[in-house]
Structure 1
Amino acid sequence: MKIAIVHDELMRRGGAEQVVLTMLKAFPDADVYTLAYNPEGTYPEYRNYNIKTSALQFLSKSVKWMQRLYFPFALWAMKAVKVHGYDVVLISNTHSAKYVDIDKNAVVFIYTYTPFRLAWNPTSYSQYNDSKGIHRWVFDKVVSYLRKVDKKAAQKGNFYLGMTNETSQRIKDAYDIRDVKIIPPDVKTRNFHVVEKPQDYYLLVSRLEFYKKADLAIEAFNRLGLKLIVVGNGTKAEELKRLAKNNIEFRKGLSSEELAILYANCKALIFPQYEDYGITPLEANASGRPVIAYEIGGVLETMIPYDNDASRATAVFFKEQTVKSLIDAISLFETLEFDSKFIRAHAEKFDESVFMKELQKFVSESINLKLK
């Protein structure tokens, strides 16, 4: 059985790129197709694979340029990518992976993290919210076009997969899909370790973009005066650095080992955003560390919230996406004692070995069903 794996783009280190690495472990002989590939920007393990890219590769040397050229060039580039001669095509997708040209006789699986955010949730972009007049009119025309293209491309799937119940419903609503198999993204627990006594700092690990709400955490820690280490980069990085006081430290470009040490030694991970899934809370749990998270989205399905017994919890939730609500949660957290072994055991339920078995089983059973 000849298999191809198609992913949006391989230019950064995110949860989706980790999922694709696990897909490649499940199907090690698969070929990989993507919009653009930057070996320096994404995980080094991808150097072990033959990555086939679109024509945009020659123009898109960074995430910034990829985003600038996305409409309409990325759409055209991915539509021109021919993924032919495969029995199975497994698509890892948020935006453009499903646009590729696939043989009609291939069995197509589409794993969607969330429907294309620009098309189906444009208000998550500050550029859209800030646009006015003719700029908003143009934006709305682009969004309308993208919805049509995106929905049409989604129909080429034979079988659909999603991360959570919430994202499953979004897939159904956006693409008129009836059945979506839920397989939660994995955390590679082997990459993380537990220490007996953490240090006196909190941790935030995120791309520094508008919807990630790192500014909320920075405002809260500015007021509390507690130490916060922010790991990540993005278009809001310089703005956030100007906002932060001296108790907040910024880091980027860390190795996996350096990040694992920060996870293991932090008091807790701060997770202020509304995330479709969120792999960083599970990475913190794999390090035996609890999470202080906004009570919405993927964390509702991956975390065990504190409810009078911290020894059987993995997170403290805050109900409102405000500085005060976050400060109240941190203040509550400071009074609690969590069980790092319990937290680690919880993370192991989401290990990559679990994801691999579930994915292999679903693909095998679905192909048999298709052939009947």
Structure 2
Amino acid sequence: MTQRELQVAVVREKGSFQIENARIGAPGPGEVLVRVVAAGLCHTDLIVRDQDLPLPLPMVLGHEGSGVVEEVGEGVQGLAPGDHVVLSFHSCGECATCQAGSPAYCERFMPLNMGGAREDGTHALHSEAGVLHDQFFGQSSFGSYALTHARNTVKVRRDVPLELLGPLGCGIQTGAGAVLRSMKVPAGSSLAAFGAGAVGLSAVMAARVAGAAVIIAVDTKPGRLELARELGATHTVNAAEEDPVAAIRRLTGTGANFTFEATGLTSVMRQAVEALGPRGTCGIVGAPPAGAQASFDVYDLLMLGKHIMGIVEGDSVPREFIPELVDLYAEGRFPFDRLIRYYDLADINQAAADSESGVTLKPVLRMPTPA
């Protein structure tokens, strides 16, 4: 079958999604056609929807898909129809950073993940109105099918609910990977996570897996702080009620060994650096608007030997790290299901509103079954 009918969520104009019928082509060399079961809704989808990151429209977004392989293209190895898969970010596999085992910093990351088409300019998705920009993070998974690639299609075990697993492809692996891969938080250490959303709480859960002795969650919403304690935080700080830097220093003695910044607020980034103890490391994943500037006390940084680390996708190699996270979940050690609320694809605008208001930590969209 060369064309399949599907429903997709399309951004045609700034600020909203609309559900449309579309057609998707067959997989080409190196490509994989996946029947999408569910997809997480991430902050990055929303900043493209709002054109704070101005990508070409109309576009089908979605970059935390999970589903079942339908077809594989020429040259695809290790994947077959019927496999359960999680979809993650795309990378070339050829550049120096990919060859060094750091695909999140692929030299072709932007064209492969945000170019709106294949590298040769062709599109997999079309509607009656014409071409739909696609290939968002190499997948565009806000639809019943996605055309993805062997490199960003990760086979997972079959005994874990497939509709749950999509967020492991980006947000959850970012928080967990920052702790377990980027900063390599050791047992017995201290970590403070600034921002107790889905990414920050993933860092909290990962810190518990790592055996951190002191795990501090910082936020302004009491409900999120309560959940953080249930997921592994040993202490919580309400930044609306007290100075988080002073609180962290009080709880750790000289400051945290590690801090994790997930809010994207430059003022909070400064706090995350200030809250470090000697030789401490601050990992930053929160993304402010392009061109934003953050400041810090250079004397404090130099004299205490502090480190600031920018982190993309938790420094993950998805085909290795995602199955590890699935195993941790199956063992009861990484209960990220506590973050998730399900919506039908048709309710994507409500899911987005609930995410922005804080009602929902991690919306996951269930896809309609294709005809």
* TM-score, normalising length: structure 1: 0.32
Greater RCO, 1 or 2 (C-alpha within 8 Å, sep 6+)? 2
Q: Which has the higher strand share?
A: 2
Q: Which has the higher helix share?
A: 1
